[in-house]
Structure 1
Amino acid sequence: MNLEKRETIIKEIQYWRRSKLLPEQYCDFLTNLYNDEDKIKDSNPVSLQNLQQGSIKIWLFGFGIISLIFMISLYFSVFPWPLQIATALCVLVVCYGYSAIYRDRNQTISLLLAGVGSVLTMGFGLWMIALHGLDPDFWRPVLIAGCGLLWSVLGFTLRIGLLHYCGIAFWALLYAGFSGQMRPEASMLELELLWLPLCVLMVWLSWLLYHKVSGVSGVYLGVGVSLWLMPEVDALWLRQGFPDWVSLLLIVKIAAGLALLFIFRKKWITWVAS
């Protein structure tokens, strides 16, 4: 069997493993059957093996990327604002685009590029707000909403759970700020009514998506678990004047949440593993 065909088969086996199409032991058996590390070419262009071989293309590519990063860092502030927006969009498209390309080839590189793109999204936004003297009380929530929407969509599309979770968490942060401005004197009961319906909604979405879409139900379950504690977090860290018994209530809810997770462990572990 030629090396190219062998590589194709091994990539297909890795896809079966990630998609749970075959049990782990069958995937291990097939991988050991076809895998020959001495003959298969390393598909990662920035691996230590390829760098050691002294490929001129790889070193020139690295030089170009580093030079571009320094040029953007040094001259971004003097660019006119249309060029600033275009530069930021180009960098983000490259990061997220290559993250999508490497999603099935190399998950580590894909996650790294998605993380870099996400940090740059927030960084470019805050930088432009400071450079142009924009009103932070208006533009920072807009930036948070935009980042949350972008990360949620990309996390869902690329099946990057942490990115998807962070996107929804940013929207929850925006919701907390808005509710704090609208009802700064809200009671503990009002805070429970603000957050617990969202918790139930996210857990229900987790159950629903487990039967409809693979790879995302664990994210919504994680969001639902986080929202279960948000009324007390909102009261203790985002507001003023709540009594000490709220801390005790937080501990009680953590214990109750762990008990519910233990009781229904056979169901939610299946959702997370899907």
Structure 2
Amino acid sequence: MNLEKREIILREIQYWRRSKVLPEQYCDFLTNLYNDETEVKDSNPISLRNLQQGSIKIWLFGFGIISLIFLISLYFSVFPWPLQLATALCVLIVCYGYSAVYRDRNNMISLVLAGAGSVLTLGFGLWLIALHDLDPGFWRPLLIAGCGLLWVILGFLLRISLLHFCGFAFWALLYAGFFGQQRPDASILELELLYLPLCVLMVWLSWLLHHRVNSVSGVYLGVGTALWIMPEIDALLLRQDFPQWVSLILILKIAAGLALLFIFRKKWITWVTS
């Protein structure tokens, strides 16, 4: 069989495996049927095999990328602010764009690029705030809200659950910071009322969407699980003068949450894997 056609078939089999179009054993059988390692070329351009072959294009490409990273790091602070903003946007567009391109070709490269783009989004934002002496009390929450929105959207579009979850985590952090300023002396009961309705909402959305948009069902269940223990984490880490028995409540809630997950395991596992 033509080598190019063989690679296309193998990529399709891997896509069927990730999207669960076929059972795992059928995907293994088809992969073993078509995968001849002595003939199939590694589709990852930066793999050890391709680097060992000494392709001048790959090495020059790597040299160019490393040089560009050092140039941006060294001279970013002396750029005028429009060029700084344009440079940051270009880097982020390249990272997220190639993450989308490689999403069905090479999952690992796609995840690395998405992770790099996410770290750079936050890093460039904090760097610009520091360089231009902007008011951190206003711009940092705005940056957190923007990063959360961007990651929620891209995590959904690129089907990257961890990125989607991090977007909601940043919104939860912003939510905690806002109410920490508004009610610094809130009681543990008030904190429970702040987070538990959101916990119920996210778990309900997980159940509601698992038939329609099943890629986000697991994310929403994870967010709801995190919000279940968020009142105690807020009290212990973000506030002061809370008694030590709050730690005992946290342990009891973790135990109760695990018990509920065990009791309803057949239902929520169906939500996540369907």
TM-score by length of 1: 0.98
Equivalent residue for 1:57?
Answer: 57
Aligned counterparts of 1:51 and 1:219: Cα–Cα separation in 2: 37
Equivalent residue for 2:21?
Answer: 21
Alignment of 1:85-100 (within 5 A): 85-100=85-100
Alignment of 1:210-229 (within 5 A): 210-229=210-229
Equivalent residue for 1:78?
Answer: 78
Tell me the amino acid that sits aligned with residue 239 of structure 1.
R
Q: Per-residue displacement from partner, 1:178-199 (whole Å, max 9, x unpaired)?
A: 1111111211111111000100
Are positions 1:269 and 2:269 aligned together? yes
Alignment of 1:122-133 (within 5 A): 122-133=122-133
Q: Per-residue displacement from partner, 1:36-86 (whole Å, max 9, x unpaired)?
A: 111111111111111111111111111110110011011100000000000
For residue 272 of structure 1, report the CA deviation from its aligned partner.
2.4
**Partners of 2:214 and 2:272 within 8 A in 1:** no
Aligned counterparts of 1:4 and 1:214: Cα–Cα separation in 2: 33
Aligned counterparts of 1:175 and 1:36: Cα–Cα separation in 2: 53
* Cα root mean square deviation, aligned: 1.0
Aligned counterparts of 1:237 and 1:244: Cα–Cα separation in 2: 12
Secondary structure of the equivalent of 1:211? coil
Q: Per-residue displacement from partner, 1:231-263 (whole Å, max 9, x unpaired)?
A: 111111111222222111111111110100000
**Unpaired segments of 5 or more residues in structure 2?**
none
Alignment of 1:168-183 (within 5 A): 168-183=168-183
Secondary structure of the equivalent of 1:45? coil
Tell me the amino acid that sits aligned with residue 159 of structure 1.
R
Equivalent residue for 2:10?
Answer: 10
Equivalent residue for 2:202?
Answer: 202
Identity of aligned residues (%): 83
Secondary structure of the equivalent of 2:46? coil
Aligned counterparts of 2:62 and 2:105: Cα–Cα separation in 1: 20
Tell me the amino acid that sits aligned with residue 199 of structure 2.
C
Aligned counterparts of 1:209 and 1:156: Cα–Cα separation in 2: 13
Equivalent residue for 1:48?
Answer: 48
**Unpaired segments of 5 or more residues in structure 1?**
none
Tell me the amino acid that sits aligned with residue 195 of structure 1.
Y
Equivalent residue for 2:243?
Answer: 243
Equivalent residue for 1:254?
Answer: 254
Q: Per-residue displacement from partner, 1:187-214 (whole Å, max 9, x unpaired)?
A: 1111111000100111111112211113
Q: Per-residue displacement from partner, 1:109-145 (whole Å, max 9, x unpaired)?
A: 1111111111111111111111000111111101101
For residue 108 of structure 1, report the CA deviation from its aligned partner.
0.8
Tell me the amino acid that sits aligned with residue 137 of structure 1.
G
Aligned counterparts of 1:183 and 1:25: Cα–Cα separation in 2: 55
For residue 271 of structure 1, report the CA deviation from its aligned partner.
2.3
**Partners of 2:209 and 2:217 within 8 A in 1:** yes
When the two structures are aligned, how many residues end up with a matched partner? 274
Aligned counterparts of 2:33 and 2:214: Cα–Cα separation in 1: 28
For residue 34 of structure 1, report the CA deviation from its aligned partner.
1.2
Aligned counterparts of 1:12 and 1:269: Cα–Cα separation in 2: 26
Tell me the amino acid that sits aligned with residue 183 of structure 1.
R
TM-score by length of 2: 0.98
Are positions 1:106 and 2:106 aligned together? yes
Q: Per-residue displacement from partner, 1:209-237 (whole Å, max 9, x unpaired)?
A: 21111322111111110000011111111
